[in-house]
Amino acid sequence: MKAKVGSLMLVPNTLDFGVDSAPPDIRDVLPASVIREAARLDHWVAENAKTTRAFLKRIDAVVPLGRAIQAISIVELPRPQKGVRGVAPPSDLGALLAPVFQGHDLGLISEAGLPAVADPGAALVQSAHQAGVPVMALPGPSSLLLALAASGLNGQSFAFVGYLPVDSTERSARVRELEALSRRANQTQLMIETPYRNDALLTALVTHLQPGTRLSVSCGLTLPRGFTRTDSVAGWNATPSVLPADVPAVFSLLAG
């Protein structure tokens, strides 16, 4: 008889990183079915083990975990070497899938939002497909799609471009390049930044984009203090905003 193979379960996390002073009730962010699935899993691959344990404590407060947190296996994805983009290639990640070949379902979780979307977990998902492991994506919040929906910009054609260069000269050139692409294709361009550099990115955008380009910032999505502001670049310059340095934000632009 062929041995039972488990599935790779893509488990969404909340968007608050578990550090906000008043995070939303997890039941207001994740479907009940996802909370039940997370509670039963004994094996996890995570971007960060500490934040995963914090996530499981929040789950346990709603649906008791199948076993004590200390007995749950949490293995971190390998971290990229300095100067090397991405994570280990799929061929190096096969060992992380060992529980599924022992008949266990394996949870994959990011620090926030959907795993494998703007997230290194994509390499493990690719490895699972190559090994013939079933992959199940569970529903949950995505900051990128929530920001796009709230922006009022073009939701029919859009692209996520990740992080912009930190170097000011390279960043300004990239901003102008994305604006030209947006204008040519009528395509919304979405990007993110490390929270403590939120204001630096906003300054670069309002400085180097054309006055008529529309710019949207969604900050602290799903948090009580979260907001989305969409305005022309001229409007942003006329009424400046200061972004918090400790809350994730998504930036979107659409050139006319």
3-state secondary structure the chain: CCCCCCCEEECCCCCCCCCCCCCCCHHHCCCHHHHHHHHHCCEEEECCHHHHHHHHHHHHCCCCCCCCHHHCEEEECCCCCCCCCCCCCHHHCHHHHHHHHCCCCEEEECCCCCCCCCCCCHHHHHHHHHCCCCEEECCCCCHHHHHHHHHCCCCCCEEEEEECCCCHHHHHHHHHHHHHHHHHHCCEEEEECCHHHHHHHHHHHHHHCCCCCEEEEEECCCCCCCEEEEEEHHHHHHCCCCCCCCCCEEEEEECC
Per-residue model confidence (pLDDT) at position 137: 97
- Look at residue 23 in the predicted model and tell me its pLDDT: 74
Nearest-10 crossing angle of helices 32-40, 49-60: 120
pLDDT, tens only, 74-88? 999 987 655 444 455
Question: Model-level pTM?
Answer: 0.88
Q: What one-character DSSP code corresponds to residue 5? A: -
8 Å CB contact between 118 and 101: no
Question: Are the C-beta atoms of 8 and 135 separated by less than 8 Å?
Answer: yes
Report residue 200 CA to chain centroid gap. Answer: 20
Residue ranges of the domains in the chain?
8-137, 143-254
Parts of the chain with a pLDDT under 50: 83-86
What CATH number belongs to 143-254?
3.30.950.10
> How far is residue 189's CA from residue 163's CA, in Å, rounded to a whole number?
12
Residue 136 is classified by DSSP as E
**Class of 8-137 per CATH?**
alpha beta
For residue 195, the model assigns a pLDDT of: 92
Residue-wise pLDDT for 13-60, tens only, equals 999 876 556 678 899 999 999 999 999 999 999 999 999 999 999 999
* Burial profile 17-28: b = 16 or more Cβ within 10 angstroms, e = fewer: bbebeebbebee
